[in-house]
Structures are given as structure tokens and as C-alpha cells.
Amino acid sequence: MMSSSPKPEVTLSLTLSPGSTLQEVVNPQERGVRLIQLLLTCAKHASSSNLHRADECLRQISLLASVSGDSMQRLSAWFASALAVRLVKRWPGLHKVLNYTQLPKQDQLGQAQPLFGRVCPYLGFSYAIISRTLIKAMTGERVIHLVDLGSGDANLWIPLLRSFSCLLDGQPHLKVTCMNANKAILEELGPRLVKEAEALGLPFQFAPLNVSLRELTLDKLGVKSGEALAFISILNLHSLLAEDDSVDAHFSHNKTNGIKDSKQMIRFLSTIRSSSPKLFFLVEKEADHNLNKLVDRFVEGLHYYSAVFDSVDATFGGNTSSRERLVLEEMFGKEIENIVACEGVEREERHERYGRWMVRFGQAGFKPVMMWHDSTEDAKQMVEACGRNGYKIVNERASLMICWHDRPLYAVSAWTC
């Protein structure tokens, strides 16, 4: 069993050559060191509301960062932008006016998410892992009810339908309930799946559910006796951790094993468990962004997204002006902005590492499921089939970590009652 490598201390060895000025910093490595120095200093000033010093740091960063530069320059541009938004939000009127021309969040995701699935293999690996585990677990079941908790991605569902249509013991009756706050996603996905099921001759029912995770209740799912039930959450469950952090600061004892309690998460997992699902699949970023202190999550964010931007670089090669790359990195930039610039219930990008999810699911009465028996060989074959260098899938404590080189970026896990 392999484990993730320890998080490197990003503040070590950040020194420039004696006498270097910003204009003289042309070496990429030296420029990267200087950018990290400036970003961390700026984050500290933003955290302590020292506006003038934060502004000076941003001015210096702007001379070195660029959304069309190397991966460190591009990453720095997005983190600097997030810090600037945090500072501007001190003036709500100014912040609102500056955001008039921004596309709604759902429109931005609608452009970027399909692109992310196509050019980066993280979701493809996750879907393949879920599909193989689900097919094996559901073999022999006659009525299967699968609940999509917000992905609405045809790249997950169409291959799943095809797999269920080819089961040796005959086709089951398959019901898919797709929950999504964006009605347009449901209206597009439903007819595609119905058409695919008809072509396969698969008994099928699609149930759209136009609600958010916070609005989901058991009666809305329409679960019936005799159904083999499974839930699938793709990069969405962490949003339930959003809460008023000022309350947590005043009642710091509301923690279990060093993990902040979340009434919303406890309620949700209790509701799911009461439905007695056969499986619950969870895909989440392998990162600690649910930290109260800005500087702590800023450092964690730099560490995490630097690996993400490096993997994007490998996908697009030296084409730093690619329109697709810009769209994709803007999606990550919006995540960074939420992590850095937002607080309280507005801060929804509260990613947590698998170890914390283990505690949360364990407290709710769930047990982890080993997804593959020969995970090493299966993972090797999956990565080779992808045809991309630098990616790994490693087994860690009943989860599968999807890594860029040795850095785990996404965790796939399965749970049962």
C-alpha cells in the first residue's frame, strides 16, 4: 500500500540572489521563488487588514505574474486576483459594481466542466473506478436506483448504461435520479439518457430533481422498497461544510478528533444512511481548504493548485495562449477566489482530505468499501490506457488516490452502511 507524500513546507529556501530587483528577475526558478514570497507576504497583510502593504505586494506581483506565462506565473496571477477581490470586498458597493459583467457561476461551470473532463483524466479515472465497482456490487439485482448528487455528466452515465445493458445475468430495471440546482443540465441530460437506454433496450427511468444538496430530502428521492440503492457524489459534497465560521471561532470546542463539526453534513449523512444504500461513492479533491485562518488555507491552496497547473501544462504543452487552457484555468481561478476571498457560508470550496472524510462517514455509521482487490495491476492498466505520462492511481486506506506524479489530487472512495 502506498501513501501520499508529506506536504512540503513551501516557505523553505525562498531566497533570491543578493541584490536582485524585480526587473532583474528573469530566471524562471528565481521568479517563482519571488512570487511565492510576495504572495505569502500579501496573504499575511490581507489577513491582518494591512491594506497599504497588501497593495504594494500586489503591485510587485503584477510585474512578475501573467495568465499567459509559465505555470507559476499563471497560478500567481489567479492567487493575486483572489487576494485583490478579498481586499475590494471591504467596500461592498465597489465590489458589486466590479462584478456586474461577470458571468453567473453556473454559466462558467457549464463551459469549463465538460472541458475539464475531456482534457484532464481525473474525472475519467474516477468514473471508471465507480463503474467497475458499481457493476460488480449490483450484479444479480433486478431493480437498481442510482442517485446522482449534482454531477449531471453524461460522460459518467452513458458508459454506465452500456455496462448495465451487457450484464450476463440479464438487464436490470435501472432508475436514475439526477439532482442538480441547474435545471438546464437536467433538461439536457434526461433525453440523452432515455434515448441511449432505448437504443440499448434497457428498462430505464429518469427522474430529474431540480434542488440543491441543502434542499434534498428523502421523500424527494422517491426510494421504493426492493430497490438496490446507490449514491454518487462528484466534487460536490464539500459544499455542505460551508457555515458561519465566526460561530466556530467562539465555540472552538465543537470539534471531534480535531475536525470541525458540521450540522449540515451530519444531517445530510444521517438522511442518506436512513435510506439504507448499498453504496455511496465519493469523489473529492485531496486537499485541506476547510481551514479557518486565511494564511493556512492560502499555503495549502498554493501547494495543491501548483500541482494542478503543472498537470494542465503537461496537457497543453507550450501552448500558453490556448483558449481551452484559459477557460479551464479560469474555473480553477474561481475556486481559488472562493477559498481566499470568501468567508462564512459564502465560502463553499471547503475541500478536505480523505482522512477527514473517513471520520465524518464513520461517525455517521458508514464503513469504507474496498473497491478493487488487485488495485495495483488494475490502476496500472487504467493509466496505460489513458496514454498520459505523469499520472498514478494508488491505494490508500480503502480509497484510490489519483495523483499527478507523487501528489494526490483527487480521492475516490466507496461506503456502505
Domains, in order of start, for the chain: 29-99 (no CATH), 107-244+258-286+351-416 (3.40.50.150)
Buried b / exposed e along 155-169 (16+ C-beta atoms within 10 A): ebbbebbeebbeeee
Instruction: For residue 195, give Cα distances in angstroms to 162, 172, 206, 229, 362.
Output: 12, 17, 11, 23, 39
What are the pLDDT tens digits along the chain (417 aa)?
344 444 433 333 344 344 445 555 568 899 999 999 999 999 999 999 999 999 999 999 999 999 989 999 999 999 999 999 999 998 888 777 777 656 555 555 667 888 888 888 999 999 999 999 999 999 999 999 999 999 999 999 999 999 999 987 889 999 999 999 999 999 999 999 999 999 999 999 999 999 999 999 999 999 999 999 999 999 999 999 998 876 655 555 456 666 888 999 999 999 999 999 999 999 999 999 999 999 999 999 999 999 999 999 888 876 766 888 999 999 999 999 999 999 999 999 999 999 999 999 999 999 999 886 565 677 778 787 777 789 999 888 889 999 999 999 999 999 999
Q: What is the pLDDT of residue 370?
A: 86
Q: What is the pLDDT of residue 106?
A: 55
Instruction: Tell the residue number behind the cell numbers 488494475, with chain if given.
Output: 378
DSSP for 41-103?
A: HHHHHHHTT-HHHHHHHHHHHHHH--TTS-HHHHHHHHHHHHHHHHHHTTSHHHHHHHTTTSP
Burial label for 113, CB within 10 Å (0-12, 13-18, 19+), is buried
Q: What is the pLDDT of residue 3?
A: 42
Instruction: For residue 393, give Cα distances in angstroms to 205, 273, 306, 369, 398.
Output: 34, 29, 19, 17, 13
Q: Where are the alpha helices (DSSP H) in 179-217?
A: 183-200
Q: Residue 280 phi/psi, 5° resolution? A: -130, 115
Burial label for 269, CB within 10 Å (0-12, 13-18, 19+), is buried
